[in-house]
Amino acid sequence: MADQLVKIVRFHETGAADVLKIEELPVPEPGEGEVRLRVKAIGLNRAEVMFRMGRYLVTPKLPSKLGYEASGVVEAVGQGVDASWMGETVSTVPAFAADVYGVYGEVAIVPAHALAEYPARLTPEEGTSIWMQYLTAYGALIQQGHVAKGDFVLITAASSSVGLAAIQIAKAEGAVSIATTRTMKKKAELLALGADYVIATEEEDLVARVMEITSGKGTRIAFDSVGGKGLELLAGAAAQSGIIFEYGALANDATPFPLFAALTKHLTVKGYTLFEVVMDPAAFAKAKQYVFEHLAAGDFKPKIDTTFPLAEIVEAHRYMESNAQVGKIVVTV
C-alpha cells in the first residue's frame, strides 16, 4: 500500500485553527508494537487545541500530527502485535505521547496498548467519545477520590465531555453532582443530562450556593478543568478535608494557591491527568472494565454535540474554541 495516498491532518506551525492542513501522504506502515487503524470517527479534545497552539504539556515536533481519540478497524499490525487484532473494531485510548502519535486522518498509526474494544451497541461516533472523558473522570472520582454515596461533587466546566462523564459517574456511585457553567444558557440541558444542581458562575455566588445546597458542609470533591483564580472559590466551597482535582488549565490567568483555606480546612489540591491511570497497567485494566461495563449496561452514554466531516477540521476546532458545545465534538471520516 506504500504507493497509495491517504489524507492526514498536520500542522507546520503552532497557532490558530487554520494552521491545520489536510495533506495527502503515503499510507504509513506500523512499526514494532504498533497498528494501523482505518479511521471512521475522531473525537476532539481540548488538549488538542492547546497542543496545536503550543500551550500543552508537551511541545509539537513540526510538522506535527495530532489527536488522541479515534474509532475504526485495525487493518495492519506491526511486529510483536497479536494478529488477532486484525479486523477488530476498536477505539483508541489516550495512552500515548501527543508529540509522537496522532489520529486525525483517514488512517492512524497508534501503539497496540492504546487500543480498546467498545460495546457493539455504540456507533463509531460514540465509540470515539468514551475513553478520554470517562477515564479522566474515573481516575479522579473513583480511583483517587473514592467517591461514595451521599458525597457532594463539584464539577466545573460541566458541559464538556469530561464534565458530563463526571456527572454520570457521580450518579452511578450515588453521589450528588453540582455542575458549574458560566451562564444559565446550559442549565436546563445539564439538569436533563443528570446534574443534580447547576450553578451559573457569572450570575451566582458559587460559595454561597454550594453552602446552601450542602447545608453548610461544602463539597468533599471538586473536579476542576479551569484553574485560575477560580481555585480560591473552589477552596471556599470545599468541605473539611476536601480534595480539589486540577486536571486542566482553561483559565488565562495565574492559579494562586488558596493557602488560608487549605490550612483551615486541611484541603488537598491535587494536580491530575488521566495518564496516572493509563500508565499503570493494573489501574488501566480496572478502569477500562469499569467504563465498559457501565457503557454496556446503559448507565453511561456519551453525548455527541455536533459532527463535522474531516474536510471541515478547521471549523471543528473553531467550534470547540467557541465553548458552545455540550458534550463531544466528533469528526467523521
Please tell me the predicted confidence (pLDDT) of residue 23: 98
Specify whether 315 is located in the same domain as 203. no
Residue 180 domain boundaries? 132-275
Q: How far is CA 260 from CA 6, 70, 211, 256, in A?
A: 56, 44, 18, 11
What residues does 155 pair with on adjacent strands?
A: 179, 223
The answer to the question of residue 289 being in a domain is: no
Instruction: Report d(CA 207, CA 161) in Å as an integer.
Output: 24
Residues 6+ apart with CB under 8 A from 319: 306, 308, 325, 329
Please tell me the predicted confidence (pLDDT) of residue 1: 54
Please tell me the predicted confidence (pLDDT) of residue 249: 86
Specify whether 139 is located in the same domain as 111. no
What is the distance of C-alpha 123 from the center of its chain?
Answer: 18
Q: Find cell 481555585 and name the residue.
A: 231
The answer to the question of residue 285 being in a domain is: no
Specify whether 115 is located in the same domain as 136. no
What residues does 243 pair with on adjacent strands?
A: 221, 268
Specify whether 183 is located in the same domain as 311. no
Residues 6+ apart with CB under 8 A from 130: 91, 118, 122, 291, 295, 300, 302
Specify whether 113 is located in the same domain as 27. yes
The answer to the question of residue 182 being in a domain is: yes
Q: How far is CA 114 from CA 39, 92, 93, 111, 279, in A?
A: 14, 6, 5, 6, 10
In this structure, the strands spanning 89-92 and 20-26 are unpaired
List the one residue out of 275, 276, 246, 274 whose CA is nearest residue 258.
Answer: 246
What would you report as the CA-atom Rg of the chain, rounded to the nearest whole angstrom? 20
The answer to the question of residue 295 being in a domain is: no
The total domain count for the chain is: 2
Per-residue pLDDT of the chain (333 residues), as tens digits, is: 557 999 999 999 999 999 999 999 999 999 999 999 999 999 999 999 999 999 998 999 999 999 999 999 999 999 999 999 999 999 999 999 999 999 999 999 999 999 999 999 999 999 999 999 999 999 999 999 999 999 999 999 999 999 999 999 999 999 999 999 999 999 999 999 999 999 999 999 999 999 999 999 999 999 999 999 999 999 999 999 999 999 988 888 999 999 999 999 999 999 999 999 999 999 999 999 999 999 999 999 999 999 999 999 999 999 999 999 999 999 999
Specify whether 192 is located in the same domain as 95. no
Specify whether 145 is located in the same domain as 201. yes
The answer to the question of residue 18 being in a domain is: yes
The answer to the question of residue 195 being in a domain is: yes
| Phi and psi, residue 272, nearest 5° | -150, 140
The answer to the question of residue 290 being in a domain is: no
CATH of the domain at 45: 3.90.180.10
Specify whether 144 is located in the same domain as 53. no
pLDDT digits (tens, 9 = 90+) for 297-331: 999 999 999 999 999 999 999 999 999 999 999 99
Specify whether 209 is located in the same domain as 74. no
Specify whether 197 is located in the same domain as 320. no
pLDDT digits (tens, 9 = 90+) for 121-145: 999 999 999 999 999 999 999 999 9
Please tell me the predicted confidence (pLDDT) of residue 3: 72
CATH of the domain at 214: 3.40.50.720
